[in-house]
Amino acid sequence: METVQSPRERYRAQVREEVKRHAWEQIAAAGVTALSLNAIAKEMGMSGPALYRYFAGRDELITALIKDAYRSLADTVRAAFEAGTTVVALAGVIREWALSDPHRYLLIYGTPVPGYHAPDEITAISDEILAVLLEVCADASDGAPKTPFDVVLGMNREWAGALPAPSATVHRALSFWTRLQGVLSLELAGHFAPMGFDAGLLLAEEVERL
């Protein structure tokens, strides 16, 4: 059952969305370290104190942006999984998501924002992505021989030992994630452009090798 918003609540939601839109524009122009609520307030024709009624500070705004980005990616990978995607196809889905908005990708997987610490709610959303990776990689890990890294994962009860998957599956998911992030980071930074090849094909081959 949907909750009916009051006019004030709808207005507040609209202002917050407009603030986030201006924030993304700032990030695209000068990077997240240049994010300024006062500059956004000026663009919106508001005073700084007035804008702080919608976001208490820079960190709260960054959290909202990161939460939106993770939510979008988590929903994307879950939809792909429910549609029966393969490991290789999932890599392509995530790549398409990253290329559609590189600044969104870089905010959550690029260089950490100096002085910013994400709250637990962000970790919970990112864990949804890991959960899908574990599910997709589970079948690919069946019958795979254990490696030294698998043994280390099995011994790490504080992290891998607490995940609802065998160490071989965790290893496969981590290998998938590191290869994916490596190719995407290089592609988004423009390092492949002078080489003149299809980074999508490289990514597919890297994942296929797993």
**Does residue 8 surpass a pLDDT of 80?**
yes
Fold that domain 1-56 belongs to in CATH: Arc Repressor Mutant, subunit A (1.10.10)
Give me the CATH code for the 63-208 domain, please: 1.10.357.10
Identify which of 65, 130, 121, 75 has the alpha carbon closest to the alpha carbon of residue 97.
75
pLDDT of residue 142: 52
Top pLDDT among 138 and 72 is at: 72
Give the predicted TM-score (pTM) of the model: 0.83
Interatomic CA distance for residues 209 and 184, integer angstroms: 17
Tens-place pLDDT, residues 121-170: 888 898 899 889 888 888 655 555 554 444 434 444 444 444 555 677 88
With contact defined as beta carbons under 8 Å apart, do 61 and 36 qualify? no
Domain with CATH 1.10.357.10 in the chain: 63-208
